[in-house]
Amino acid sequence: MEMFFKSEKRVATNHSEREDEMQLITLDIRTLSFVTTSVAAIYGFGMLAFSLLQPRFRGFFLLALANGTFAIGLFFLGYREILSDVVTIIAANICILSGHALYYEAIRKCFGEERINPISPAIMVVTLVLLYRFTYSAPSINKRIILLSAMGALFAVLSLLEFIRKTPDYLRVPGGMTAVVFAVSCVFQLFRLGTTIKEGQIASFMDAGETHAYALFLMIVLISGSTFGLVWMASGRLEYEMTRLATLDQLTKVLNRRGLEDAALQEFSKLNREEEDLGIIFADIDHFKSLNDRYGHRIGDEVLTVFASLVRKELRLHDIFGRIGGEEFVILLPDTSFSNSLETAERLREMVEKMCFEMEGNEIYMTASFGVAMFTQQANSLEKMISCADKALYHSKREGRNKVSYFMSENGRPVLYTS
């Protein structure tokens, strides 16, 4: 019997120890606030360094400020019931909400917006007035939580809408991941709001319960996830720009030869699947060497730029336009018949012929010659299509320039086109 009672006491003791252990892992709001302060401060300093070293990436200074205000607000929050209410309620919560507002403005700036959305300061002013009321005039911890949850959810929704409306296709993965972080934040804020409405009056925020403790844990997720996501987006944008630089002609800002080859490969794969037409136009500015010799290379470069701009405006969005060297340009016309390819070349010829622009007191006129060919079983690569169009272009030059010729694949010879 004595052994039984000893065993029973041992079981009771073990059960009591397990209860103590369970109490040890209970989320403590004060501890979480200081942990979250550290996380926000680390990310704040990191983003500040990033914004100073990489000023071309807009929005990251605001992101650093956002994390900094989060850190200050959470630090003040950790001293609730130790320091004054002005510091631990008014200042702390305004700093935390300012972090949400700055996140929203940082995202807008990353997407190219220059001015602050007036809704941000308006929300802050309304929140400050109501926060003061629910702290002094009509004190209520529940109402403060409901107010701040609603405003936090509003900023999360506004941020989410920015991602939905403005994320370019090449940033869909990092943009989508970051958008999910704000969506989760919004859902939790609304859940917390609903929970607070239903529960009884909270006597002390530091003992408010696990839902409000999880709000601090969620802030760690928001700070880490959104900061990582925006840095990932900046990295993706940089990679995209480097790829564009590698495939763009730096003078005219149209595709270079590599860019043309990459785009052509995609079009050829579509042709094999869908059996669509693909036309090509080879264009060459007439007497370009004489223009260079007469006016100088600077004006020669301007002629190339003006020509490229004129042609690009006349083409469809899915047409492929590039410069392959000197004054030679290539246009690929997806899903375009032979007759429509000829009409496009003639329209471009007439437009260039009528063009006159002034530079350094000189009136510059120019004309261009064009060669047209089509994708066929024989001309089934970019090089072969260019070769066929080049023969037609040479025919236009030989016949007096400022003309359009086309290459007949049946007899393998160029023919002069007349409208």
Q: Which domains does the chain have, with CATH numbers?
A: 19-246 (1.20.1070), 257-417 (3.30.70.270)
Question: Which candidate, 337, 80, 318, places its Cα nearest to that of 203?
Answer: 80
- What does the alpha-carbon distance between residue 278 and residue 300 come to, in Å, rounded to a whole number? 31
- What does the alpha-carbon distance between residue 255 and residue 246 come to, in Å, rounded to a whole number? 9
Rg of the Cα trace of the chain? 34
What is the model's pLDDT at position 417?
A: 65
What is the model's pLDDT at position 26?
A: 57
Which helix (H) or strand (E) element contains residue 19?
A: helix 2-24
pLDDT tens-digit series, residues 369-388: 999 999 888 888 889 999 99
pLDDT tens-digit series, residues 343-376: 999 999 999 999 888 877 778 889 999 999 998 8
What are the per-10-residue average pLDDT scores of the chain (419 residues)?
45 48 61 93 94 89 96 94 93 96 95 92 96 94 95 96 93 94 95 92 85 89 94 91 86 91 86 77 93 86 92 92 93 93 95 85 88 88 91 92 86 65
- What does the alpha-carbon distance between residue 307 and residue 355 come to, in Å, rounded to a whole number? 9
Of the CA atoms within 13 Å of residue 222, those in its CB half-sphere come to 32
What is the model's pLDDT at position 21?
A: 46
Question: Which candidate, 231, 156, 234, places its Cα nearest to that of 192?
Answer: 156
Phi and psi at 114, nearest 5°, equal -100, -40
- What does the alpha-carbon distance between residue 412 and residue 410 come to, in Å, rounded to a whole number? 6
Q: Are strands 328-334 and 368-374 parallel, antiparallel or unpaired?
A: unpaired
H helices of 276-354, in order, are 288-295, 297-314, 338-354
Q: Are strands 368-374 and 404-408 parallel, antiparallel or unpaired?
A: parallel
- What does the alpha-carbon distance between residue 359 and residue 121 come to, in Å, rounded to a whole number? 48
What is the model's pLDDT at position 273?
A: 60
Find the angle CA(252)-CA(348)-CA(312) to the nearest 5 degrees.
35
